[in-house]
Structure 1
Amino acid sequence: MLVLSPWFRPPAALLCALPAMALAQAPTQASAQDGDLADRLYHSGERAYASKAYKEATDTWEQLLQTSPRSEFAPLVLLRLARHQVEVEHKPEAAKPYLDRLRSEYIKAPEAADGLLLHGQLLAQEARRPADLKDAMAEFNRVLDLFPDASACAEARLELARAWRDQGQWGRALQQAIDAFRLHSGSAVAPRAMFEAAEILDQMGDLPGCLRMLQRVRSEAPQSPEAQEAAWRMAVRVKHRLQKPPFRNEGPWPAGRTKWLKTPTLLSLAPDGDLLVFQNDLDRAFRLHAAEAGPLGPPAPGTRALLASPKGALWMLTKNGLVREDAAAVQPLGGLGAISGAALDRWGSLWVADAKTPALTVFAADGGSRTVASPTLNALAPLPSGGLAVAADADRKLLFLDAEGQPRIVVPYGKDLPAPFRTVTALAADGAGQVAALVDGGDFGEGVVIFGPDGALLRQATFKALGISGRITSLALDRSGGLILCDRRNDLLIRLN
């Protein structure tokens, strides 16, 4: 039997401490094991997600949240699951529980900044009127207040600029846009913020500042989509507002195409610049791309309004209701049977005027509707500011409405023209804020008039002076500063330059 020397006997205190040391090490070892499991679960889900095995990935990440809720990977997983619902499943409502948990349980985590930003963007997308932006703006402000050094701050400032713009707070909007590109120069947000600043300057009436800012976008980010957008907006503003050349009739458009349509009656410009044409004898719309016309959407006999949604989908209003390219059934319009004009605003709401109703009916994207008091209207066009341009023949006034439907600018028929006109047949607007009116009657006769975003007269011409003889029923402003006319009698389109 081995007998230890007294010199080698452990102290009694050490013997008493050994069980406690073992107990202290147990949580540490368990924590390390949990962290290792969370690491493996996260990367396993990441591998599955990269191979587009989305169910495997999301199930794996859900398991991580159940087994290791205190892991450093948990807030990242919540953000990834929320983005998956938005970007892949297209279910923004399903993303909100993840974002709510990220905010409530992991507000100190770096991922919380991106979560707050995404939640604010979802709330902003749901807004149907400027007043609905309050909660979204609160989230963007939390990003700036809680995470001043986070990369999400650039996008949050840009979103705040847009929200203030939509509420008509030009000074606050401009400051946020400037901060977005000044404090985050070189980021992907910078050219978008400069572009937004240019558009805000135009709303403020600072055309020189707007043009300088658009040129800056082109110079500093020449390959960006914003640079391409800036190019045509600069060109049309210079052409319509500074140069103001007399209209020139270029004849049938596309060049040389005559008698190639079947009674065209309505025109609309898609967000990508393509022209939409409704042909009455064929009872359907066509998209004109690269001088070739292809059928678009289902047949819709008796179409009275042709619209392109902000996302590019075709909408047609008939006496039976709304026919949408992206919907299976006709949507009733609450008994409106004498439609005299319609417009889709940038909020996704459909504004409809009825010749027998002295009010505008607004159909929101969520299915609700409301009425806005107005005189009887006969033509509508959406404005980039979020409101509408409308014509009231009975009052002989052109009205520029804000997003709530309230008159912002009133232009009497014939103001600054050599002779007055009596009626407006159709209205069109472009993304740079110009409004074109197809007018008739009075001493002016039949012709076209273009107004600026402030209601100022920019250009005008009579069809008699241009040598045009036909039945012009609709018009559109293209991205080159030209005006496309729809000639039903001669089955063609005519371009004025």
Structure 2
Amino acid sequence: MPTLPHQGTEPGPGVAAMLSLCPEASMSPASPWSRTPVALLCALPALVQMPALGQEGDLAERLYRSGERAYAAKAYKEAVDTWGQLLQSAPKSGFAPQALLALARHQMEVEHKPEAALPYLDRLKAEYIRTPEAAEGLLLRGILLARQARRSTELKDAMAEFNRVLDLFPESSSVPEARFRLGKAWRDQGQWGRALQQFVEAFRTHPDAAVAPRAMLEAAETMDLLGDLPGCLRMLQQLRTRAPQSLEAQEATWRMAVRVKHRLQKPPLSNDGPWPAGRAKWLKTPTLLATAPDGDLIIYQSDLDHAFRLHNGDLAPIGPGVPGAKAVVATPAGGVWLLSKAGLLREQGAPTPLNRLGAITGAALDRWGALWVADAKTPALTVFSPDGASRPVASPTANALAPLPTGGMVIAADADRKLLFLDADGQPRAVVPYGKDLPVPFRYVIALASDGAGQVAALVEGGDFGEGIMILGPQGAVLRQATLKSLGISGHITSLALDRSGGLILCDRRNDLLIRLN
């Protein structure tokens, strides 16, 4: 029978090797630890660290939940401070990327400082790209970069972030929104086929996503740009069927109505008389009209030097008075801008000079928030970016202009007797000679108006045609037309606007009223 070593015997070579790997086990025989199993002794450092790591994770969760509670109670400073403490004390916690997302959303949604959200999103991208939260972080970063773009050529970085969401996180809930945003970027660049593909994929693969109705609406509009009117109308009807209570369904309803009326039915223009019905001599020399994004009519009254909003039959003044206004612009946010020799006047603040443009004939905002101004004495258009910088866009002298859904403008050049449909960079994509598709030509364009579905209305005069109205399609084809004489109108018409039901509103400064054509 083998002899067992007594308590004082040196350990064998196998045990000695284990002890060399675990110095804590090399203790004197007198130590009570000498009877502890070697494996347990080696595990002691890890066992000591585990409670510390657990405590850090518990602390991170408690800090994150505390921030959530404060944020829900609108104690925003407390929430921001708490999440900041989480990032400082437990940067390796799984709650750190969630805190970064929450802080970025706070800057965007509450503080309305999107530039302050970018550092949080940059850190999320750099340090936590492997986490599920990175998908939403990349999406938000792309949205912010797209908002900063002032021209289509500046969308490259934003599109890269949307593509990263698709490539790195194909199962993320951020994918449909990323596809939608990528589609808009492609469309802004004039790549309508690629844009349509992204819009369709956004709602086809994720029909229940919140962005699906928006994707369907934009898909329909893109089909129209591609010349597929039947497909556009089918898509709008499909949207109304799938999401009947959505805001997009309301948009689809009027966009369908005006397209069917102007492009398919094309009934002869008829005079509905004074509008709103029964109101005669109720204005003080109306001279300018514009349609707000919500469908309200903006009216500038020359005798009052003031703009007014007509909403559900009620007339309310807007902002300060502006003597001698030459153009009125309704902004996407619901504001109203007036342009005169004194400059650009928003609803608040002092006038902004417009590079000494003194013969303004029209103004409009493009897709990027830039203000395009036409001047009768300037052989170019002047474009003012939101930061106040300006640049010229080569163009004939324009007598009127109106915005197009593609981000460009339609302008009237009386000297060349042409209507030019410009893209977002100011390059002509369609040129329509005065008198095209009409029985006889005209000489001058007094005013232009447009709607969100691509139709353009022109108030014209001169030549054999005389005074009259034209409604043109997105490519410049005349859809409907009539002379004022044939409509029984004998007033002095100075401006016009397209409404959401396919009607045309004229302002008659001689008779101090509005007239609606149907």
Provide TM-score, normalisation by structure 2: 0.93
Shift of 1:335: 1.3
The AA in structure 2 aligned to 1:264 is P
* Distance (whole Å) between structure 1 residues aligned to residue 132 and residue 67 of structure 2: 20
* Distance (whole Å) between structure 1 residues aligned to residue 44 and residue 80 of structure 2: 37
Query: Quick check: 1:389 aligned with 2:410?
Result: yes
1:101 is aligned to 123
Instruction: Pick one of 431, 442, 448 that aligns with 1:410.
Output: 431
1:375 is aligned to 396
2:148 is aligned to 126
The AA in structure 2 aligned to 1:68 is A
1:339 is aligned to 360
* Distance (whole Å) between structure 1 residues aligned to residue 274 and residue 38 of structure 2: 102
Query: Quick check: 1:453 aligned with 2:483?
Result: no
Look up the SS of the partner of 1:165 in the other structure. Answer: helix
Instruction: Pick one of 498, 504, 507 that aligns with 1:477.
Output: 498
* Distance (whole Å) between structure 1 residues aligned to residue 86 and residue 203 of structure 2: 38
* Distance (whole Å) between structure 1 residues aligned to residue 39 and residue 499 of structure 2: 85
Query: Quick check: 1:224 aligned with 2:246?
Result: yes
The AA in structure 1 aligned to 2:442 is F
Look up the SS of the partner of 2:36 in the other structure. Answer: helix
Look up the SS of the partner of 1:391 in the other structure. Answer: strand
Equivalent pair of 1:284/1:298 in contact (CA under 8 Å):
yes
* Count of residue correspondences: 489
Shift of 1:410: 0.1
For residues 403-442 of structure 1, what are the structure 2 equivalents within 5 Å?
A: 403-442=424-463
Query: Quick check: 1:55 aligned with 2:77?
Result: yes
Shift of 1:26: 2.2
* Distance (whole Å) between structure 1 residues aligned to residue 33 and residue 350 of structure 2: 87
Instruction: Pick one of 346, 349, 370 that aligns with 1:349.
Output: 370
* Distance (whole Å) between structure 1 residues aligned to residue 470 and residue 174 of structure 2: 45
* Distance (whole Å) between structure 1 residues aligned to residue 43 and residue 482 of structure 2: 94
> What per-residue deviation string (whole Å, max 9, x for no partner) do you get for residues 205-230 of structure 1?
01000000000000111111111100
The AA in structure 2 aligned to 1:282 is L
* Distance (whole Å) between structure 2 residues aligned to residue 53 and residue 20 of structure 1: 48
Query: Quick check: 1:184 aligned with 2:206?
Result: yes
The AA in structure 2 aligned to 1:447 is G
Look up the SS of the partner of 2:441 in the other structure. Answer: coil
1:3 is aligned to none
Look up the SS of the partner of 1:470 in the other structure. Answer: coil
* Distance (whole Å) between structure 1 residues aligned to residue 258 and residue 39 of structure 2: 84
The AA in structure 1 aligned to 2:451 is D
1:71 is aligned to 93
Equivalent pair of 1:421/1:439 in contact (CA under 8 Å):
yes
Query: Quick check: 1:84 aligned with 2:106?
Result: yes
Residues 50-59 or 329-338, more deviating: 329-338
Shift of 1:22: 3.6
2:277 is aligned to 255
Instruction: Pick one of 256, 269, 273 that aligns with 2:295.
Output: 273
What is the identity percentage for the equivalent residue pairs of Structure 1 and Structure 2?
Answer: 72
Shift of 1:185: 1.2
Residues 218-227 or 22-31, more deviating: 22-31
* Distance (whole Å) between structure 1 residues aligned to residue 185 and residue 513 of structure 2: 42
Shift of 1:13: 6.4
> What per-residue deviation string (whole Å, max 9, x for no partner) do you get for residues 268-317 of structure 1?
00000000000011111000000110001111111100000122211110
2:26 is aligned to none
> What per-residue deviation string (whole Å, max 9, x for no partner) do you get for residues 198-250 of structure 1?
00000000100000000000011111111110000000000000000011101
Query: Quick check: 1:444 aligned with 2:443?
Result: no
2:336 is aligned to 314
* Distance (whole Å) between structure 2 residues aligned to residue 319 and residue 27 of structure 1: 74
Shift of 1:14: 2.6
The structure number with the bigger radius of gyration is: 2
The AA in structure 1 aligned to 2:208 is G
Shift of 1:132: 1.1
- 1:11–1:93: structure 2 CA closer, same or farther, 3 Å change rule? closer
* Distance (whole Å) between structure 1 residues aligned to residue 232 and residue 43 of structure 2: 71
Shift of 1:367: 1.9
1:239 is aligned to 261
1:199 is aligned to 221
Shift of 1:357: 1.0
Equivalent pair of 1:310/1:346 in contact (CA under 8 Å):
no
2:235 is aligned to 213
* Distance (whole Å) between structure 2 residues aligned to residue 127 and residue 230 of structure 1: 28
Instruction: Pick one of 54, 63, 76 that aligns with 1:41.
Output: 63
The AA in structure 1 aligned to 2:503 is G
Provide TM-score, normalisation by structure 1: 0.97
Look up the SS of the partner of 1:466 in the other structure. Answer: coil
1:14 is aligned to 36
* Distance (whole Å) between structure 1 residues aligned to residue 40 and residue 47 of structure 2: 11
Shift of 1:12: 2.8
Equivalent pair of 1:345/1:386 in contact (CA under 8 Å):
yes
* Distance (whole Å) between structure 2 residues aligned to residue 402 and residue 15 of structure 1: 80
Equivalent pair of 1:379/1:426 in contact (CA under 8 Å):
yes
For residues 148-159 of structure 1, what are the structure 2 equivalents within 5 Å?
A: 148-159=170-181
Look up the SS of the partner of 1:461 in the other structure. Answer: strand
* Distance (whole Å) between structure 1 residues aligned to residue 43 and residue 456 of structure 2: 81
* Distance (whole Å) between structure 1 residues aligned to residue 349 and residue 53 of structure 2: 54
* Distance (whole Å) between structure 1 residues aligned to residue 302 and residue 115 of structure 2: 41
> What per-residue deviation string (whole Å, max 9, x for no partner) do you get for residues 307-341 of structure 1?
0012221111010100011x412111111111121
Shift of 1:76: 0.4
Query: Quick check: 1:297 aligned with 2:319?
Result: yes
- 1:21–1:453: structure 2 CA closer, same or farther, 3 Å change rule? same
Instruction: Pick one of 362, 365, 377 that aligns with 2:383.
Output: 362
Equivalent pair of 1:158/1:177 in contact (CA under 8 Å):
yes
Shift of 1:15: 6.9
* Distance (whole Å) between structure 1 residues aligned to residue 188 and residue 486 of structure 2: 40
> What per-residue deviation string (whole Å, max 9, x for no partner) do you get for residues 28-86 of structure 1?
11111111111111111110000000000000000000000001100000001001000
Shift of 1:353: 1.2
Look up the SS of the partner of 1:465 in the other structure. Answer: coil
* Distance (whole Å) between structure 2 residues aligned to residue 50 and residue 250 of structure 1: 53
> What per-residue deviation string (whole Å, max 9, x for no partner) do you get for residues 96-122 of structure 1?
000000000000111100000001011
Look up the SS of the partner of 1:371 in the other structure. Answer: strand
Shift of 1:23: 2.6
